[in-house]
């Protein structure tokens, strides 16, 4: 017997126009539901990926992705600094938390020591930074939002109190403090411009009582900020102390990830409900075709081939639905901005980011679930006994 016979019988059953109309309606609804569910899941996850990527670029652009510092303070015992390949740039850093005092008010901030404007993206628009932050002059560059809050202009004096370092005086232990001159103001709408100040690397080191050739650590900028979890493989915890952007923004991105997972789970229920209709349609077809199945068995069709008939028929619905849904989802995601601009020309653009491995997982999972749902109806069809089915024929 031809080994492809179950496939041709299943294809004939699937293409047949006559028979149980209700069964065909259920089959069509199952196929349409799979198309709709897969397409919706691809679009939703692409939009969530786009939003996450946009937030990653906007929120994490001004933050150091990671700062690694040696645990040992002895220079002879310091481990070698060998960054991995995914580190885009590493610059030396001295940083400390400070209290900013001016004539108009007081504010908390973070003082970061830099050597050039390439050391931080917030300083990209400032020219001649090496002159504005000359070594030994104790100049400082502040953000526009901080300048507005404390009513500061270029040339004003501010007092920085380092709460993490202190010195003994006749009046007791007091924080280290120093007058700085505002040499420039960088303009940014980001939250970091409200508390981030930049000074010369050596000047910050002097306030922290570090040697001239010593720094606290290295500031790392990665090709992908989410690769910070891989740094522990290169920098062992027993030798290096690692602090990264998750200390400040980790909860925000954790919430975004949870929202994406919940949206994916809710949309996946559409696919599950649609695929469950395959069980109903195949069960109705088994009842409708049991006479034909019995005749085919009397002509030599084995029970395994009977199972393959209904497994193949369910697979046809699942494969076609998943492939069409995946294709429509990819097309809709790629041109979602153009579609929304036609509906609402004045609306904000919606970012999307297609992940083709993610699309492949969605399509393959839908096909796999479709095959799984065909097992029970196929098993019931294989259990049909020709004598029982044809008794009253």
- Give the residue-averaged pLDDT of 125-153: 85
Write out pLDDT tens, residues 267-288.
888 888 888 888 887 777 777 7
Q: Has residue 291 been placed in a domain?
A: yes
Residue/partner pairs of 69-78 with CB below 8 Å, 24 or more apart: 69/216, 69/217, 69/218, 69/240, 69/241, 69/243, 70/217, 70/239, 70/240, 70/241, 71/238, 71/239, 71/240, 71/241, 72/239, 75/214
Residue where a domain stops, chosen among 217, 244, 271:
244
Same domain, 101 and 222: yes
Structure confidence at residue 79 (pLDDT): 66
Cα dihedral 14→20→24→26 (10° resolution): -130
| pLDDT(17) > 60 | no
Nearest to 146 by CA among 181, 102, 207, 201: 102
Per-residue pLDDT averaged across 4-8, rounded? 74
- pLDDT (0 to 100) of residue 173: 62
Return the higher-pLDDT residue of 287 and 168: 287
Are 12 and 45 found together in one domain?
yes
**66 within some domain:** no
132 and 159: one domain? yes
The stretch 163-169 carries a mean pLDDT of: 63
Asked if residue 65 is part of any domain, the answer here is no
Confidence class for position 255, pLDDT limits 50, 70, 90: confident
pLDDT given for residue 172 in this prediction: 54
Q: 1 pLDDT band (50/70/90 cuts)?
A: very low
- Average pLDDT of the segment spanning 206-218: 81
Question: Which pLDDT score, from 0 to 100, does residue 324 have?
Answer: 92
Domain of 329 in residue numbering reads as: 5-58+254-390
What pLDDT was estimated at residue 270? 82
Q: Provide the pLDDT for residue 2.
A: 46
Tell whether 249 is covered by a domain: no
Rounded Cα distance between 109 and 194, Å, is 8
Out of 49-58, 270-279, 296-305, 359-368, least confident range: 296-305
Antiparallel, parallel or unpaired: β 196-200 and 106-114? parallel
Dihedral sign of CA atoms 356, 357, 362, 363 in order: positive
Whether 357 maps to a domain, the answer reads: yes
Share of the chain above pLDDT 70, in %: 88
The residue among 219, 244, 269 that closes a domain is 244
Residues 79 and 213 in one domain: yes
**Which tops the pLDDT comparison, 17 or 65?**
65
- pLDDT band per the 50, 70, 90 thresholds, residue 15: low
For residues 87 and 167, state if they share a domain.
Answer: yes
Instruction: Report pLDDT digits (tens) over 75-132.
Output: 555 567 777 888 888 888 888 888 888 887 888 888 888 888 788 778 877 878 878 8
pLDDT category at 391 given cuts 50, 70, 90 is low
Mean pLDDT estimate for the chain: 80
Residue 206 lies in a domain: yes
**212-226, 276-290, 312-326, 334-348, range with greatest mean pLDDT:** 312-326
Q: What is the DSSP string of 121-172?
A: GGGTT-S-HHHHT-TTS-EEEEEHHHHHHHT--TT-EEEEEEEEEEEEETTE
Percent of all residues in the chain with a pLDDT value above 90, rounded to a whole number: 3
pTM: 0.71
75 lies in the same domain as 224: yes
Q: Quick one: 304 and 359 in the same domain?
A: yes
Same domain, 109 and 131: yes
Please report whether residue 144 resides in a domain.
yes
227 and 181 share a domain?
yes
pLDDT of residue 312: 84
Domain termination site, one of 195, 219, 244? 244
Per the structure, the count of domains in the chain is 2
Confidence at residue 145, expressed as pLDDT on a 0 to 100 scale: 87
Please tell me whether residues 259 and 233 are part of one structural domain.
Answer: no
Residue 63 lies in a domain: no
Please identify which residue in the block is written with the tokens 């300083």.
123
Mean predicted confidence (pLDDT) in 14-37:
73
The verdict on 160 and 291 lying in the same domain is: no
Say whether both 103 and 234 belong to one domain.
yes
Residue 168: CB atoms within 10 A of its CB come to: 8
């Amino acid at each position: 017997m031809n080994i492809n016979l179950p496939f041709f019988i299943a294809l004939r059953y699937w293409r047949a126009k006559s028979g149980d109309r209700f069964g065909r309606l259920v089959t069509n609804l199952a196929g349409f539901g799979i198309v709709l569910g897969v397409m919706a899941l691809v679009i939703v996850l692409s939009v969530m990926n786009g939003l996450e990527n946009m937030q990653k670029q906007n929120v994490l652009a001004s933050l150091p992705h990671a700062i690694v510092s040696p645990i040992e303070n002895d220079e002879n015992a310091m481990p070698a600094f060998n960054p991995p390949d995914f580190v885009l740039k590493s610059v030396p850093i001295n940083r400390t938390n400070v209290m900013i005092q001016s004539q108009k008010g007081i504010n908390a901030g973070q003082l970061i020591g830099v050597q050039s404007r390439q050391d931080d993206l917030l300083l990209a628009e400032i020219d001649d930074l090496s002159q504005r932050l000359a070594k030994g002059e104790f100049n400082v560059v502040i953000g526009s939002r901080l300048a507005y809050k404390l009513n500061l202009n270029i040339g004003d004096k501010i007092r920085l109190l380092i709460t993490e370092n202190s010195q003994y005086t006749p009046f007791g232990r007091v924080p280290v403090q120093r007058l700085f001159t505002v040499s420039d103001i960088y303009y940014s709408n980001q939250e970091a411009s409200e508390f981030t100040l930049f000074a010369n690397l050596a000047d910050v080191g002097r306030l922290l009582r570090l040697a001239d050739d010593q720094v606290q650590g290295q500031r790392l900028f990665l090709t992908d900020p989410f690769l910070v979890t891989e740094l522990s493989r290169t920098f062992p915890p027993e030798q290096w102390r690692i602090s990264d952007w998750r200390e400040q923004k980790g909860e925000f991105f954790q919430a975004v990830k949870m929202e994406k997972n919940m949206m994916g789970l809710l949309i996946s229920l559409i696919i599950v409900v649609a695929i469950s209709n395959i069980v109903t349609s195949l069960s109705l077809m088994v009842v409708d075709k049991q006479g034909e199945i019995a005749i085919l068995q009397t002509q030599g069709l084995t029970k395994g081939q009977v199972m393959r008939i209904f497994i193949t028929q369910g697979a046809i619905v699942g494969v076609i639905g998943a492939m069409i849904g995946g294709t429509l989802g990819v097309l809709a995601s790629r041109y979602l901005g153009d579609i929304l601009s036609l509906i609402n020309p004045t609306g904000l653009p919606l970012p999307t980011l297609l992940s083709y491995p993610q699309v492949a997982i969605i399509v393959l999972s839908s096909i796999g679930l479709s095959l799984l749902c065909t097992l029970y109806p196929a098993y019931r069809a294989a259990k049909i006994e020709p004598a029982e089915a044809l008794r009253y024929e």
